Structure formats: C-alpha cells, structure tokens
Structure 1
Amino acid sequence: MSPSIPPALRGRRARIIAITVPVGIVGSLIALPFTAQATPSPDAVIAEVYGGGGNSGASLTHDFIELGNAGGASFDLTGWSVQYLSGSPSATTKWSVTPLDGAIPAGGSYLIQQAKGAGGDTPLPTPDATGTVAMSASSGTVALVHSTTALTCLTTDDCAADTNIKDLVGFGTAAVKETSPATGADNTHSVTRDAALTDTDNNSVDLGGATPTPRNSAGDGETPGGGGEPSPTPSPTDTTPGELRIHDIQGATRISPYVGKSVSNVPGVVTAVRSTGTSRGFWIQDTKPDKNPATSEAVFVFTGSSTPQVKVGDSVLVSAKVVQYYPGGQASGSQSLTELSGPTTTVLSSGNKLPAPEVVNAKTLPDTYAPKAKGLNIEPLALKPDKFALDWFASREGMLLQIGESRVVGASNSYGETWVTTKPKQNPTPRGGTVYTGYNDVNSGRLKLISLTGDTLTANVGDTLTGTSAGVLDYSNYGGYTLQTTTLGKIKSGGLKPEVAKKGKDNELSVATYNVENLAPTNAQSKFDRLADGIVTNLAAPDVVSLEEIQDNNGNKDDGTVAADQTLAKFIAAIKAKGGPSYEWRSIDPQDKADGGEPGGNIRNVFLFNPQRVSFVDRPGGDATTPVEVVTSGKNKKTVSLSVSPGRINPTSDAWKSSRKPLVGEFDFRGQRIFIVGNHFNSKGGDQPAHGVNQPPTLGSETQRLAQAKEVRGFVSDLLAKDKKAKIVVLGDLNDYQFSKPLTNLTKGNLLTDLINTLPKNERYSYVYDGNSQTLDHILVSSAIKKPGYDVVHINAEFADQASDHDPQVVRIK
C-alpha cells in the first residue's frame, strides 16, 4: 500500500484533534486494530509506562511502570507480576518478568523501577518493586499478570485469550495492544492515563504522551495524569518576565540550547489551544521578535491530558521544562519539536491582539527541500531558512502562518488531512497534483492542513482551497510540517473525474494490475461493488487481472485459515453483477502468517482471467514452498514452459521473508504463450521520511526490495536465456519508484521495459502520498512485446472517496 505508513494504520500522539485510530498504509505494512484485550478494570490498571530513563534528553535515570488502583480497597499483588514484550516480537521473542509483592493502596499508586540508562540526573521516588528490564522508549507492550510465569502469547488475539492478564498497554507501534496502541512515548515522554484511571480497553484512547510523573505507594512523586495545568490566576510574585524569550529557547538549530533545563516566566501570547485528546496544550508566540530569521518566535506548551486553562489572546508567563519531542519516537527518523512541558502558567491579561501571521506564497519557500548531509543527522546544523524549505519551516515552528488560494495536491483523508501546494508551478500533473520525479527533486511547496477547530474539508486533487487559511505550524512524523488551521478556506471543485481505459481490440490481450487493499469477505458489499465497477467500467474488463492484497476467507481473524476461495467467489460474483466476465482465478495459498501484511489476513497475489478470451495453462505441483522453474522440451529443447503453473519464484528465499511471493502463470492467447509474473514487494514502512533528520533519508526497506527484484530478474533472465522471444509481463505493486534501485535492477541491460517511463514525466504516478503523485505500481514487459498500449487509470488515489489507495494499470498486447 503506502510508501510509508498508510493513513488508516497510523498510530500517533493526538497532535491535532481527539481521534480514535483504526490505523490502515497496509497490506504491505501493519495490522488494523483487533478486539479489546480485556474488560475495563474497576481497580488495578497500568497507569503509566516510561522507557526513556537515562536516554538522551531524559532527566529521570530509570525506566518505570506505575500501577494505579481505581477501587475503594487496597489491591493485593502477592503472586502478581508485570511483564514486558518488545513492540515487534518474533516467533522466538520472550516476555521479561518482574515479580511484585505488597499492595496498591485504594486510590493510590505502585511504582516498579526498571533498567537504568547512561544519562539523566533525577532518580525515581523509592520504588515499591524493582526489575532490570531495559524497555524501549518508543514501542513495546506491558502486561499486569496474575502469575509470575512468563507469558507465551505473541499476538493480540492470543493475549486476549489469556485469563491471567488483567491489564495490558501497548504503545508506539506495538503489535500487541488493547485495540490500538497508545502514542506519544519517547525519551522525554511516558504514556499515562488520566487521574481517574479511565480504562476503555483502547490504549490509544486511554493513554497519551505526557511528562513522566512517577509516584509510589507512599504517595511520593508527582500527581499522575501528565502534569496538570494549575489555575492561571496571577500572583503578585510571578508577573515579571524571565530572562529568556522564546527565540532564545528555540535557538538557531533544530535542538533547543536549553533542552532538559527548566525555564521561568517565559512571556508570550496564546495563539491557539488544543483542549481535546490526550496531548493537550497551547501555543504561545512572542510579540517582540528578534531579528534572526533562523529562530522561531513560538513554542508549544504541553499539558498532557489536562485541559489548558488559557484562551487565545491571553498574555501569559510560562515556567516549565524544555524538552525535544520526537513524533513517532526518535528511532523513527522524524524531526523533533521544542516544547515546554509540565508548565506553571500565569495569565497577565486577556483579549490581546495576536501577532500577524506570516504569509506563505509561491515565492516564500526555497525550491530546495532539505540540506544535504551525506545521510547524517541535520539537527546540529545551523538553520538556513533562505536556502532550504525544511529549514524555513523549522525556523517558524509553532508560529502563526497564512496561505491564500491554493491547489489541492493530496485528497482529504479520514484524519481530516488535506495537502495543498504553495508553489502551483512546481512539477504539476495534468490532473492538478504535483508529481514526484526523483530523490533529489522533493516538492518543497507542499503543506499539510488540518483544522484545529473541528472544521472539515472534503477535497480531491485539483480542487482549489479558496480564501484565506491560517493557523499555527506543527510537525508530525506522518507528513512533516502541518498547518493546524484556526481559519480555513472553502473548497472549489476542480471537476476531477475517474478515468476510463481504452478497450482492447479483439486481437489484443489486455492485462491489468490492481491492489485492492486487504479485500476480504468481511468487507462491506459496497467495497466489492466499487472494486468490481472499477474493473468492468474503468479498466474495460481486462482479459487478465493480477490482484494484490486478496485476504483469506475470514480476513484478519488469526485462526490459521489460509484459503481465499470465498473472497474470490464474492469478488467474481460482484464483477459479473456489474456486467463483467465470468472470471476464473488461479493462486497459491500462502503458509499461515508467512507473507506479511495485516496479521491474520494472509494476503496473496491472484490472477483473474476471462476464459472466453484467454486460457490458463495449468501445470500441477505448485504450492507455497515449491519454486517454479523454466523447463525446455521438444525438438532441440526449444519449447519453453514452466515446471508448475501457477508457481512461485524461489519462495523459501530470505528475500521473501514476511513478504508476498511472486505468482507466475502461463497463459495462452490465440496460440501465443504469455508468461505473467504478479508481484507485491515489501512495503516502504522501514524507510525514514523525506522530511526527517537524516538527509538524504535512510531507505531501510529498500534492501529487501532490491533482493526481491534480483530474484525476479533471475527468473526472467533464465526464461529469456532459453527463449529470447518470450513474451513476459512483470507487474504489480512493487512498492517503489521508477528511479529506485529495485526498478532499475529489473530494467538494466534492457531486460524489461518499465512502461511508466513511456509516459510524459508529469503523468508517471499511480499513488498519492503526502501530497506527492508518485509511482508504486508498475507494468514491465519483455522486448518481444512490441508497441504495447498502456494506461494508468486514475480512479482512486486522487479522490477523497476511494475504493483502494492505488490506481490500477492496464497494458494491451497484440
């Protein structure tokens, strides 16, 4: 699916509005949330988890887990334990156990100290129990267990069935969690419940990022709930501004020179307030800026899950600790935000005029997106806002900005996010987007918008956001810099329509690829109907359709089911109901949980074909682990065929570990043999973001895709070595760009032609992500296929209402 994390699968600290996250970017990526772990607890719960002790920027020396008791009686912990599991467990991962004793007082807390880091200067309050577990700061799972025996469950469903687990908290990108993981944890933030210990069995709702507040059973430590915002009533003793201004705290690099230190009475005017969700707070901006364009004049004041007691227009003094918050955790490669955490706020006056927002237009942002640092971290570098767009944004962090009429380049999604361009002439597509043409040509004019006030947009690519939109500049690990709007313009339709492919001639074989985004019988019939209509109407009923992300017969239920005949029967029936052919299908069931994608879904590649137009050459023996080979027969061994059909390319190779294996089939069209290879390479989920701290970003997932491309190349090379005139189509969701190493490996030496490169440069896209129109899906052909007719059929990616997040493609072969 998406090149990083799909909108529907995103775990995030609630940086924007209160959201219950369902998480989606990924037949290629991670799982949709499962059922709740247990019934909500009336007494003992895991109240706070912190894994950043002693890490960079942390003040606390140790990791810790805090339990809370919402009941009216003490809770006996004799024979109990807390246990920790890494966020991405393998089949051999073990739970770490810390035995407990004593009790949690009624309405009180219980503190478990864990491993000590190398840094920090503040010890925990005296712990009630001590362990040695080195927990991750950004992702993991903690369980409260009525046993001291290590758990064996490694999935959410299996842990849900374990009656010894009383409470469970998954955070970051944890695979094991209650419904969906809590977000906001990093070196300087824990995940914590509110003071009422609310427990709805949804970690992302119940817990959020906060300044760590460890408290033991004796009541020593800080009040839980993320560090409250005290009454803002001014006192005669705290109305004098401190020595430091916001621009001093922000500094001229991405890291505050005062990180980890406490600051007093920092002055500013409140420009925006976030009073919902688990990451509440407010932005303040200095009304007396300095003359340094590299230093921001605004900062976010983080109040955790406590509602800020300030209003827009309040003149305030804030005393707090300076922290660097990394959305998604520091390991994600994202940039950080300088924040004031655990604040004490004094309101001096109300109704003050706000600083004028800085206008962003076509000339504001530099054309060059980011400084080049040979892959190293750019955080220590001095900001150069006149040279690099990322530096310009970093130097305006938290400040009021304003844009005028702007073209939409990324359709509105379920999170309320919409992408516009502030540079309308930068790499425009014919349909109104902005195309991504290469690693060195990142579109610097893109800007993500989301409303801070609850206003919504429903916009397609090519629409126009009219009027004025203004707000504060924030940052997310998904999408980078974001304008959180307090004033939002209106949408004027650009009239974008879904495309319809040219119907193939009678003597042309039409072959299409379509990622149908985790299709399962449990999906609504409307999804089947829309996808079917896309195949029949928009793709003009191709003779062969190579499908990606067909799930097994019960979707993401993880019970060992691998067959997908019911999924395909329902889809084929929907196609026929739309007036399409009575397709037949061929596929190979994967081994359970071996092909990646949504856990329990067992996605696979599938061929649909119209038996009235083309024949499938069945050769028995293909299964999940048997490799397909090219064999020769006949006089002088000039007849080339497959050892099995359908078959899989070297399925036991490490290249395909936790990833889909290519499906290969022989087809016969009017006496001509066609070899088709359907693919779904591993996702880009391991790549660092283009807007991150390492420039250029590390493409961690590319190594496996390159190995996969080499496997496919080896098969195609063998086939062409035995028949240089073989007609071969390699197609599917290759999860990478036409200029990437995996694709250039497939095309080097003219082995195959990537048909996306035959289109004009501004039309080379099948997917829209972060406002970039880009290519993840491909059709490649061998040289024996002359003058193929080729279309990318834009029916999904540019629209707010999508049947899939990918656009299909079709090739017509004479």
Structure 2
Amino acid sequence: MTTAGHHHRTAGFGRAGRSRTGLAAAALAGALVVPMTALATDDAAAEVAPPGDGTDCVVISEVNSSGGSGGGVFTHRYVELENICDVAVDMSGWSIQRWNASSHQAGETTLLDGHSIPAEGHFLIQGVASNQGDEPLPSPDLETTINFAAASSSIVIAATEDSLAGLAGDVTGDADVVDALGWGSPPVWLGDSRPPGGNHNPDVLTRVDYTGVNGADFAVAPSSPTNSAGQTGGPEPLPPYDGPATLLINEAYSQGGEDGSIYSDRYVELYNYGSEDIDLTAWSIQFTNAAGNYTSSANLDGVVPAEGHFLIAFEGGQGDDEGVSLDDHADFVVGNWFSSLAYSLYLTTSTTQVSVPTGAVDPTEWEDIVDVLGFGDAHLWSGDAPAETLDSLTDVRAFQRVTDWDGPSLNNEADFDLVEEFVATNSAGEELPGGRDGGPGEPEDPIEVSIAEIRGAVSLDPQDAALYGESVSTSGVVTAVYSDADNDSRAHDGFYLQTPGACGAESFSGEYPEVPCAIFVHMGTSWDGAEVDIDDYVEVTAIVSSWRETGASESAQLQLVSASIEQLDGDAQPVVPVTYDGFVAVEDRPYLLGMLIEPAGEWTVTDNYSLLHGNPDSIGGWVGIVDGEEPLRIPNTVYAPASAERAALAQENAERLIWLDHGGRNRWSSFAFDRHMPLPYLNTEQHVRIGAEVDFTAPVILEYRYDSWRFQPTAFLPGNPELEPATFSDTRDENAAPPARAGDLRLAGFNVLNYFPNLGEDEPGCGYHEDRFGDPTTADWCDVRGAYSQQHFETQQARIIETIVAMDADVVALQEMENSAQLNHVDFSRDYAHEVLIEALNEVEGEGTWDFVSVDEFPESEDVIRNGYIYKPAVVEPVDSVILFEGGVEHLGELADLTIEGQTLSEVYSNAREPMAAVFQPVDGDEDDRFITIVNHLKSKGGSGTGDNEEQYGEGAFNGDRTRQAMGMLAFANELEDYYGTDRIYLMGDFNSYELEDPLVVLEDGGYVNLSAQTGQWSYAFSSEVGSLDHVFATEAAASTVVQTDIWSTNAAESIALEYSRYEATGTPGLYDEPGWSQGVWRASDHDPIVADIVVGTQDEPGEEPGEEPTEEPTAPAPGEEPGDDGPGDDDGPGAGDDTGAGPGLPTTGANPAGLVAAAMLFLLAGAGIVAANRRRGTPASM
C-alpha cells in the first residue's frame, strides 16, 4: 500500500499489500530478539504511520555480512533499514528474514513488532558477532541471533510475522515482501542482477539507487551504520592515494597447499618499477572468482621500495600443510585464498571494492585499477584473453610476468607465462626459491650440524632458529611417525627426529637440555610413511623452514622440508624420554619442544568436547587433561568474578590445560572423508569421561601447536587404537545410579535438552544438521529445536525416560520442554509435549504412575521451550500452579505491577523462560505439609550485550538480565509464601549462573541456601572447565527438611560425541549399534540432573524419623558442552531490554514487592551495593 504524500523516492519493490497475524505469533521466530530501550526524539508528537501503512517507505540501506570476521571493523554484522518517507513507520507485524544459499537454512526470522523507524531516518539491526572486529556498533535498535554472514545470502523485510521459507528467485511484486536483497548466488533477490558476494571487509553492501534491482541498487562501499537516533559509526575514510602508481603484478602462485606444492601458501608478488618508494596504506588487492559472484579484498599495509618487490601471502588448500609456509617471509598475509585454476586478481589504489565489468579491461583507463591478472576462465582480465592456467591442481608452476616492467599488463595472455623455476621475493630482497621437484629447491651444500645447533636457541618462534632458511644435514633417531598410507585423512605427514640418548648424554640428571634436541621433518601430504619407522637411525638433508597452522595466531612449527633420508649403519643409543612429572612451568616447556617425554604423576580428563569439534580449524580428536586428580574448576565457582583471585585462577587453569592429541588434523565435524575415520581414545569400551584418571602407557611428544601445549602421540591414531599412549578409568560404574533415597519425598531438576515430540521433518522449510552420510539428525534454525526424525526422537526420549525412572523422584522440575502452542505449523495445546512424556513414562512404570502440572494462566507470547513439572500422583498432589507474568500473578499482592530497575515483568523475562511455581501437598499429609517449588531457566550466557549485559569477569553475556530475573524470582517467592502460607520454598532449574555470580548472590542475600553448592559436585562443563549452572536453593525452613542433595553425573561428564544428536558423526566401530546407542542414562542431556530428598515438616520435630543418613561421598563430577550453544541446546526465546543498572540489594525472604523496589532504589543511590561487595570479597566457595 502506498501512503500518499510521504514519498521522497520510489520504493515498494516487493509487496502489493500485506497481512498481519495475531500477537501470539510473537514467539514463533526462529531467532532471539532483544528489543532495545527506546531512544527519545526531539519531536515527541512525531507523526507515525499506523500499522499497515509505510510498506512502500522502508528499504534495506546497508548490509554488513562480514562484520566480526577477519579484516572487519565492527564486532557484529548488521542490517540497516532506511525510511524514505516524511512520516515515521510502525513496523508492528513485520519481520526480518534471512536465507543462506549454502545450507539448509531458510527463513530465519526475527519479529519487528513494537518498533518504528523515524521519518527519513534509519533503523539498525545488530546480528551475531565473531568477535574479531574492534569497534562496537552505535547503539542498535534491535539485536538478533540471525547470522547475516555468508558469501551468498538473502535478507528480506517481510510484511508478515510468518516465515516465508518457501520464497525463491526474484520476489519482485510479492505481496509479503517489503524489500529484499540477495548477493552473490542467493536464493532470493530483486530484479535481474545481484551485487557480488564474498568477504567485503572492511566494506559493506550499501544502497546507491532505488530501482528495485539489487545489482543496480547496491555497491561495495565503506560502512556507516546508523541507528534511529542518527548515531553513525565507522572508521574515518582514508584520503585518496595521490602518489606514484608504478606497481605491477610480477608473479602469482596459485597452487599453494595442494598435493606436491612448493609452498603451503599462495602468493602474489608485486614489483615497483619506479624510482620512489610506495606506501600501500590506501591500496588493496582484490580478487573475484570465475563466476563473478564472489569478490573479496584485502587492504594492504607496508612500503614497496623503489625497484623492489612486495610479497603478499594468501591461504593455501588442503589445510595449508603441503609445502613451505610463506607467513614468516611475506610482507603481508591475507586470511583468504584464491582458486588455483581460474581467478581474477587486481591491484587498486582504493580500499573500497571496485565494481568491475565482465571480460577485458584496460588498467590504464579504469579508475583505481593499477594492474590486472586474470587466468583460466577468469571473470576479468586485461587484453585479448586471460593468461594460460595450470594443467591441474598438481601442476606446481607459477604465473610470471615475462614482458617489460614498465607498466601494467595490457594483455594477460601475452604478458604472463607459466614457469617451472621461480623465486618469491619480499621487500627486504629475501628470496625463497621454487622448483618443479615439489620443494623449495634441493638443499645445496648442506651444513653438517646437530639438531640442537639447528635450533641454536630456546624459542617458540621458528625464525629464532640459528640456521633458519639454511640447507643442513643432521642425524638422529626417529621418535614419532605420522602418516596415513591410504591418504584419506589428515596425519601430520612427517616424523620427529631426536639426538640419541639424553640429547647425546646418558641421562638428563634431573635437568632440562640447554636447547631442545628434536625437530619435525615434514614429508608432504602424499607421504605414506614408507621411508622410516620409529627407532630408525637416519641422516636427513633438508632446508630449515616453518609452518603456521591454520587458525593459530601465535604458534608455528620449526621443521625440515624437502628432505632426503639415508638410513645409517650401526645402532644408535636409544632416546631417553624426559620425565614430565605433573605441572611443568610454562617458561620451562620450550626446553623440551618436540622431544620425547614420559608423563608421570596424576593426570585427569578435564575436556572431552574437543574429541569431536570446537577447536581451531574445526579439528577434533583432542582430550583436555590436567595434572592432579580433579578437572579444572570454572573460576567463578570458587572466587568472586571481579576478584584478583578469580583472574589468577583463570590464568592458572589456562597454563595447566594440556591437550592429548591424535597425531593429525582430522575434522570430524566437516570434511566427509575425515568424518568416516574412527575417533581416537573413545570407543564402546572406553568412554573418556571428564574426571576420569589418565594412565599413560607410552611416551609422547611435547608440542606447542594451535597456540596451546599438547602431548602428541608417536603415531597417527584414527584407525590405530593399539597405538594410543593412554587409557582412561571407567567412572560410569560409580555413577550408574543416584544415591539411595533418604527422607519422605524426592525432588529433582532436569534440563532435557530440547525435548520436542514435534519433529523437524514435519515443519515446512526446516533445515537440519547432518550425520556423516548426509542424513538429518536434529533441526537447524527452525521453530522446533530437537530431533529431525522419529528415529532420533525415540533415541532421545528413551534416554530421558531411563533417567527419570532411575532418579526415583516424586516431583521433577523440567527445563527445555517443547511449548507446542508456540509452533507455527501445528495446532496443539501448550502441554502436548508433557502429555507425550507422561504417556511414555507410564508405559514403562504403569498407568497412572506419572502426571504433569498444568496452569490456567500463561503468557500469550512465550518461547518455544518452557519449564514444567511432572509428578507421581500417588505421592503428592498439586494444589496450585502459577507462572510469573503480569496476567498470572494478579492475585499475589502488587506483584503484577512490579518493576525491577525500570523494567516490567514482561521486559525482565523477555529473553528467558518465566518461572513456574507449583504448590504441592503430600497425599498422606495436610495443609501444614505443603511446600512450593519454583522452576526457572534464566537467560543463557551466549551472544553479546551492552551495559551490564556486556561479557566480563568470565560471567558470559547478559549477567545483568539474569540478575534482574533472579530479583523477580525472589519477589515471586515472597508473595507465594504470604499467599499460600508456607515458608518451605525450593528454587530449582537452570540458572545459567555459577556459584559466585551476581544472580546467585542475589538469591543468597535474599535468604536462600544453595544446597547444590554444598555437594562439591558440578553439573556442566564449558571450555575445559567444570561448574554448576543447575541448582537447588531453599529457604531456611525448606533447607531444614533436606536430608540429601546430589548431582547425578550421567550427562555432563560424557562426550558430546555420545549425544543422540551426534548419531553417525564418526566412523567409530560399534558406537551407533542398537540397542546400546538408545539404551542407558548416559548423555541424555548436556546438563546433569539434580535430586534433593526431603522430609515432610522439619528434621528437628519431635518424633520425626528422617530415614537413612545422606551419602557422605558425592558422585563423580560431570561436565558437557557450552551454555547457549548453537544447539541443540539452550536457544533463547524473545529478547530482553538492555538497560544498564547496578547490582541488587534485596530484602530477606518475606519482604513485599514494594520493599523490593525500595531496596533496589536504595542500592542504585548507594552506587555500590551487595553484589559489588561480594565481587570484591574474593572468598572461595566451598568445594
């Protein structure tokens, strides 16, 4: 619809009209929304177009799909909208939706309800971050967890709240589309052309016209994100370059990293044919694929000397491991790559991406372009035709300029030849020769030296080696061999060589060597390991070089390359391993770099998430271990977050963590051929649980790789379990069942990891995660968040059922249950998932054994996951149930009108699940025996926030929101106590907070006892450390009834590789066989269940027999994956406000809401408060 009189430009490219659904659809979005605090305007009475108008006024004006990535300016990606009319536009009923061309994701949706754009103003939507940029966006008007990143993707502003997952192609004229933008090779677009895809950093796609054709309307330009208040961010543009432009592309090597390659990197070598040095500050090198739908650029830095060279290194292929690394030799390193066989490279005097045509260009006539090289089926070239390309990926020749160096190439075909001998030269004049033999030339006149003499110094930097870059001949004993004869995986493709004995002596006599006497010899990706075996005594003639692994920022490997090997006669003295007893100081470890060591003392597993993924470059096969008998504790479980003690413990943990590696770079979460390999260490008989004891059975190699210290086995392990250097104790037996019941009733809390009976395969447009065969396992960016198929749901449910039955609880507080009423594609009741679970439980335990608690009043707009209760009606009966929201607590004093730091209840819980209370009475008891439980699920730690929601002190993001949610829970509990006449109240659930973080301090200061903290156990693992997010709090009266609390270690200690969602994620034999895969309680969730046994009344009442004494020894600890990870797991619902505020100062149990607000106001006036004091005190928690 067109609003007459409001247009300044022609817009309205998509829809002819629009539809609007009801308010209940507000929680149906597939992505988190965080509405920002409204910003005041100068004109409080500004005219606003009513909902339904303004669809021809709003356009997409700027998209940053690369923010937060390498080279990006901003910490977050974003979409900026523009209102081209002179009246504000209300976007209620609208949504922003996104498609990714390269995956199954379609129609990720965030609602725009309640938001408007000022007349002739902007609206800034902040997406996810990769945390690599430095500059925050100006205050966004809306935050979303939609990931705008992709080389080819689409954004749609829709005049509906419903997902438009079925859209495809040119959507011009679509009634539901307000505006759309597709770039690269997108699934959705407007018009007959699209802007280029790729990494545009540091620039963005910016609107330059209003024709309704994406390709004409958008160009790559510097970023200038603007919010509704008119605040604009972005760097100051560089002044245009006005110096000499006497540069040309002299040489390009496009085969780096492929089989048989000379260098592990690709490169472009520039030459300055002028008489003046050239500062490259305002220059960039840009590159476009053959199809012309992907363009990227890198802003250069450095100086090219007159009549000198400048070497630019790019990433290679095959994991960058084949050949010599140029990173330490190049003048500039680009974190991207270009194709071996067909690409266009162009050198420009601009830091903004240049819009180029298809076909031939004349660099002398094209503004900003200084030189061009197109080869193969290039999109762009100079002159008659592109340069001739390589014969294949194993062709190791380079493109070399063969005509005069007096200007740009005017004919790529004639000016460039493919040459077999070439030299990569940097600005210092250093030359690294190339040769057809697959190495950087044969070593010439090698120096005969010892390995220690090659190194010459104790350093982690390869370039500090005394003979770096030299040809050497050295001898030693082979201590480790990493090869894969079938070449279908990623071994390290080489071997370690060490001086015989104890670096030439008979023993180390308790001292470390002066210089490490070991070095790695890289043999190339195609190496089958035939030349050497462990314990061989050999002479190696090679060049001293280095390799920096992809994803590493600090570490690089000193290695010998282009090696020739000769077996030596005679027996060498066996290598003496160095005893590595427990913790070795970080500064001492470089003395043992690459050497054979023998770990001694106690070692314990502290991380098994990394067995499957989560590591740099998507590599798996790592087990995190630590000296001692306990895994690493999350510092905030021990010390106050802002304390110096916490910071010291965090540093200590980082230094103590050692990775037990697998001898390669296998990626079980990506490349298909890697995924078919068995996992190391974990198998059907050995589960590698966190907390398990590590027993070393063979020596290992000490390495610093991927920016971390590790024990490398002496062989490539996948498929070779007999070569594993360690075994792990089985801690399942001691955790096979929870402790025996004590007391009269058992309460339990259980996060069931997205229990969704509605399946991904039944939701239109739902994407999925795949197993190694490409078959769906779990839903990906859908309304449903659990299993994709019935097969996987049945596995998930079977494990949950076994856990609940074994817990033997009478009341179970559940988190992450499906809220069926909030699903778009079905018409089920809110309690449908509970009904399914009860039916399954009763099939096992008998009809009528279990029932669930329902509520009469619940919020109209809820998340698709919710809290709930199941219970045994033969033991307890529910008296009442209440959810904390304005319409559900009107009977509880003034609670419905409560505000916390300026936020209403709806705002406080807008990014969490509202707490649900249930009042229970024992069947054999009376009103005096009633008790109240409140189940909660606070905002997760994932994402990013501002103000008091900004991540700091290891608390994760949104600590301020969680603190306000804890304050709301206290007020709720106080009113429930008064209304129902009982002071026995138990708070349970997933608090997403560790023991000494603000939300839990709020509860303790409010009079509650953290019973779970007293166990010394933990329920979760994150980033190689363990702690508890799941808790049981009780009032003093309730705590007096508790005779036993236990965290049952069934899930978090188990590897994520065993989760139902990772079915057929690896080629580990027998792991997925039935019935074993679907049976048992292990890894039914990522959180451990928690139980609390209580007596009716109190323990001290005369005549009471509390029953058995609680067990003295807690069960073994239990970690898992990551709070707020991308799933399946804790995906949050609609977002929350972002008001900053100091921590709480709260009354004790029994205070009314007015007192709560007054206390909060006093705290704000005081400016410090209880939380600040607790943060300062730095007192250890009980362990």
TM-score, normalised to structure 2, is: 0.41
Correspondence list, 1:269-348, <5 A: 271-273=480-482, 277=489, 281-282=493-494, 284=496, 287=499, 315=540, 317-318=542-543, 320=545, 323=548, 326-327=551-552, 336-339=554-557, 345-348=562-565
Matched, 1:500 2:755: no
Matched, 1:709 2:709: no
Correspondence list, 1:606-685, <5 A: 606-616=868-878, 629=889, 631-632=891-892, 652-653=906-907, 657=911, 660-670=912-922, 671=927, 674-684=931-941
Matched residue type, 2:583: L
- CA distance in structure 2 between the partners assigned to 1:80 and 1:112 by the alignment: 29
Matched, 1:738 2:1013: no
The corresponding residue for 1:807 is 1088
Matched residue type, 1:82: P
The corresponding residue for 1:239 is 446
Paired residues of 1:605 and 1:680 also in contact (CA < 8 A): yes
Matched residue type, 1:702: G
- CA distance in structure 1 between the partners assigned to 2:907 and 2:741 by the alignment: 39
The corresponding residue for 1:783 is 1036
Paired residues of 1:735 and 1:777 also in contact (CA < 8 A): yes
Matched, 1:584 2:831: no
User: What is the number of residues matched between the two proteins?
Assistant: 599
- CA distance in structure 1 between the partners assigned to 2:959 and 2:339 by the alignment: 43
Q: Which secondary structure does the structure 1 equivalent of 2:964 belong to? A: helix
Matched residue type, 1:544: V
Matched residue type, 1:235: E
1:573 is displaced (CA, Å) by 2.6
Segments of structure 2 that go 5 or more residues without pairing to the other structure are 1-99, 106-129, 135-149, 153-184, 187-191, 209-213, 221-253, 256-265, 269-278, 301-318, 320-331, 343-372, 379-385, 397-435, 505-510, 613-620, 640-645, 665-677, 716-722, 758-786, 945-950, 1056-1081, 1097-1183
Matched residue type, 1:807: D
1:532 is displaced (CA, Å) by 1.2
1:746 is displaced (CA, Å) by 2.8
Q: Residue 1052 of structure 2: which of 769, 785, 797 is its match?
A: 797
Q: 1:685 to 1:643 in 2, by over 3 A?
A: closer
Paired residues of 1:616 and 1:666 also in contact (CA < 8 A): yes
Paired residues of 1:473 and 1:484 also in contact (CA < 8 A): no
The corresponding residue for 2:583 is 365
The corresponding residue for 1:530 is 799
- CA distance in structure 1 between the partners assigned to 2:844 and 2:965 by the alignment: 38
Matched, 1:569 2:835: yes
1:460 is displaced (CA, Å) by 4.8
- CA distance in structure 1 between the partners assigned to 2:207 and 2:583 by the alignment: 47
The corresponding residue for 2:1020 is 767
Matched residue type, 2:869: F
- CA distance in structure 2 between the partners assigned to 1:131 and 1:742 by the alignment: 46
Matched residue type, 2:920: D
Q: Which secondary structure does the structure 2 equivalent of 1:568 belong to? A: helix
- CA distance in structure 1 between the partners assigned to 2:812 and 2:1021 by the alignment: 22
Q: 1:743 to 1:86 in 2, by over 3 A?
A: farther
Q: 1:130 to 1:768 in 2, by over 3 A?
A: closer
Larger radius of gyration: 2
Q: 1:467 to 1:715 in 2, by over 3 A?
A: closer
Paired residues of 1:112 and 1:130 also in contact (CA < 8 A): no
Correspondence list, 1:1-400, <5 A: 37=103, 81-84=195-198, 124=285, 190=335, 216=375, 217=378, 218=386, 231=438, 235=442, 237=444, 239-240=446-447, 252=459, 263-265=469-471, 271-273=480-482, 277=489, 281-282=493-494, 284=496, 287=499, 315=540, 317-318=542-543, 320=545, 323=548, 326-327=551-552, 336-339=554-557, 345-349=562-566, 356=575, 358-361=577-580, 363-366=581-584, 385=585, 390-393=586-589, 396=592, 398-400=594-596
1:337 is displaced (CA, Å) by 1.9
Paired residues of 1:476 and 1:482 also in contact (CA < 8 A): no
1:616 is displaced (CA, Å) by 4.0
- CA distance in structure 1 between the partners assigned to 2:339 and 2:515 by the alignment: 34
Q: Which secondary structure does the structure 2 equivalent of 1:702 belong to? A: coil
Paired residues of 2:151 and 2:294 also in contact (CA < 8 A): no
Q: 1:686 to 1:615 in 2, by over 3 A?
A: same
The corresponding residue for 2:605 is 409
Q: 1:501 to 1:83 in 2, by over 3 A?
A: same
Paired residues of 1:405 and 1:468 also in contact (CA < 8 A): no
Q: 1:698 to 1:714 in 2, by over 3 A?
A: closer
- CA distance in structure 1 between the partners assigned to 2:943 and 2:590 by the alignment: 24
Paired residues of 2:842 and 2:850 also in contact (CA < 8 A): yes
1:483 is displaced (CA, Å) by 3.7
Paired residues of 1:244 and 1:266 also in contact (CA < 8 A): no
Matched, 1:755 2:1022: no
Q: 1:528 to 1:722 in 2, by over 3 A?
A: closer
Q: 1:451 to 1:126 in 2, by over 3 A?
A: closer
Segments of structure 1 that go 5 or more residues without pairing to the other structure are 1-33, 40-50, 56-63, 67-75, 100-107, 138-171, 173-186, 198-213, 331-335, 367-384, 596-601, 634-639, 688-696
The corresponding residue for 1:451 is 662
Paired residues of 1:403 and 1:468 also in contact (CA < 8 A): no
Q: Which secondary structure does the structure 2 equivalent of 1:533 belong to? A: helix
- CA distance in structure 1 between the partners assigned to 2:663 and 2:631 by the alignment: 30
1:780 is displaced (CA, Å) by 1.0
Q: 1:496 to 1:799 in 2, by over 3 A?
A: farther
1:708 is displaced (CA, Å) by 0.5
Matched residue type, 2:542: L
More relative contact order in 1 or in 2 (CA 8 Å, sep 6+)?
A: 1
- CA distance in structure 2 between the partners assigned to 1:787 and 1:779 by the alignment: 13
- CA distance in structure 1 between the partners assigned to 2:858 and 2:705 by the alignment: 38
Q: Residue 700 of structure 2: which of 471, 476, 483 is its match?
A: 471
Q: 1:273 to 1:436 in 2, by over 3 A?
A: farther
Paired residues of 1:552 and 1:561 also in contact (CA < 8 A): no
Matched residue type, 1:578: V
- CA distance in structure 2 between the partners assigned to 1:611 and 1:409 by the alignment: 42
1:704 is displaced (CA, Å) by 1.2
The corresponding residue for 2:1149 is none
Q: Residue 550 of structure 1: which of 813, 817, 820 is its match?
A: 817
Q: 1:549 to 1:777 in 2, by over 3 A?
A: same
1:808 is displaced (CA, Å) by 0.9
- CA distance in structure 2 between the partners assigned to 1:302 and 1:603 by the alignment: 51
Q: 1:780 to 1:420 in 2, by over 3 A?
A: same
1:264 is displaced (CA, Å) by 4.3
1:741 is displaced (CA, Å) by 3.9
- CA distance in structure 1 between the partners assigned to 2:829 and 2:473 by the alignment: 63
**CA RMSD for the aligned pairs?**
6.3
Matched residue type, 1:661: R
Q: Percent identity?
A: 16
- CA distance in structure 1 between the partners assigned to 2:299 and 2:828 by the alignment: 33
- CA distance in structure 2 between the partners assigned to 1:250 and 1:718 by the alignment: 65
1:755 is displaced (CA, Å) by 0.8
- CA distance in structure 2 between the partners assigned to 1:243 and 1:497 by the alignment: 53
Deviating more after overlay: 446-455 vs 519-528 = 446-455
Matched, 1:517 2:756: no
